Copies of this chain bind each other. A is one copy, B any other.
Amino acid sequence: MEGFADDNETHGNFVDTETLRSLRHDINNQLSNVLLALEQLRYEIPDASEDCTFYMDSISISAAKINALLKATE
């Protein structure tokens, strides 16, 4: 009986692939914003210190990893 009550948005132990597709799309949009802002930031700081460059690279790498994680679910 309780099992039937589980027929909600997440379908018990499963999620609609459309929900995942939409999530992927929305996150990718925000990732584009991050990468765009980062490029502008690199342009604004042409004489960036080694540390600054390291931190900006870290952000790029993390954004690329998020992109790869999303791609893996396609």
A residues touching B (Cβ–Cβ < 8 Å)? 10-11, 13-20, 23, 26-27, 30-31, 33-34, 36-38, 40-41, 44-45, 49, 51-52, 55-56, 58-59, 61-63, 65-66, 69-70, 73
In the complex, A34 Cα to B63 Cα: how many Å?
8
Copies in the complex: 2
CB pair A55–B38 under 8 Å, yes or no, is yes
Q: Say whether B56 contacts A49, CB under 8 Å.
A: no
Interchain CB contact (< 8 A) of A44 among B14, B36, B55, B65: B55
Nearest-neighbor residue (CB-CB) of A69 within chain B: B26
Q: What are the 3 A-B residue pairs with the smallest beta carbon separation, nearest first?
A: A14-B14, A37-B58, A41-B55
